[in-house]
Structure 1
Amino acid sequence: MMVKRNNFFKTYDIEKYDGKTFYQMGQYRVQAMDSVVFKEVPIDIRASFYSNPALVMINHLGVENPGYPYSYIKYGEYLKVGKREEVCTPALLLVSIEKGKLYRHYCAGDIEGGPVINTGILDSTDIRIFEKITRNEGSYILTEDTELYNGPMITRYSRKELKGTVFYSPGIEINGYLMVGDKNFDFIPANLLKPVVDK
């Protein structure tokens, strides 16, 4: 389709990979270039459309992060949102939304509640927002063999898991994936897990 100058289209999705950016506009996909002007909706306004927003990195190249101990925020990584002043776990990446911007912070040191390092502003077009669903916390059993992922998308494959494996979950579902684990969380398709019922 040939698009005439000054036409406007709503962007439903953004993909970033191989150093290129693509805007999904309904059935059309347009590569970002000088002739395309993208008007970003501030992250706080985007998040306000969700009751319980979950932020996930969607830049396929990841985003360089000067904070210790990680050098990149990886594609598919779930970002914990909180306040900069919050007591947080050492080496945990925390993001906060302030005045329409997305700031990243690291809780540094080896002591709970250690100093917070501000590592700058994230490009909010690198972030996709999903509704976070609260389920029951507890044990879940896997109903068929599947892959375990490091984020709530088909993303970095962690390992294969077998039918009948039991996982602890804090009861957080994002994008159809249930968070499993107790400290270092991974994700499994929620429809392949069912609660373990005590007899």
Structure 2
Amino acid sequence: MAPQPRLILASTSRYRRELLERLRLPFEVVSPQVDETPLAGESPAALSERLALAKAQAVARLHPQAVVIGSDQVADLDGAPIGKPGDHERATRQLKAMRGHRVVFHTALAVVRSSTGYVGTARVPVDVRFRADLGDEQIESYLRAEQPYDCAGSAKAEGLGIALLDAIHSDDPTALIGLPLIRTCALLRAAGLDPLQA
């Protein structure tokens, strides 16, 4: 039986690392060093796909024998990208803008194995509806409690952020957290690395 190829996560996101650990595969983490600036006129969905592939390809060039996972998430509010807020003031503005609205979180995924020429991609949209009755004091209370300044859209649905929402719709439940594991498993199998045969 041939040895399993190395697995590399091309991301420094602790959320993606924690999700990938659920598959019980040994993996390394390598920062992809990719410019994440949107292109002029680029849609949130296209941005997420381009960045996921760019991250995987950047790391795969350095480690051609490995299977490399790249992923990116961009929130979409009425066609405008919503990124990571970075600080309290921007997070407050984001949550106020999103209350009562449907936001689509586009989580894109790319798996690259340069040694075999394999490149697989997927994008999993997650429809999230924010509560219309969300008051300014509730937003402030949430942000002080969870400080989600490193999360696209300023909300952690896996934590207290669930209280900001009316509904979540997706066919891959971990996509909203940052790595769609159902699609990840499918692309890993196609690349020659089956989590159930490791």
TM-score calculated relative to the size of structure 2: 0.26
Which structure's relative contact order is higher, taking Cα pairs within 8 Å and 6+ residues apart?
A: 2
TM-score calculated relative to the size of structure 1: 0.26
Bigger share in helix:
2
Bigger share in strand:
1
Which has the higher Rg, Structure 1 or Structure 2? Answer: 1
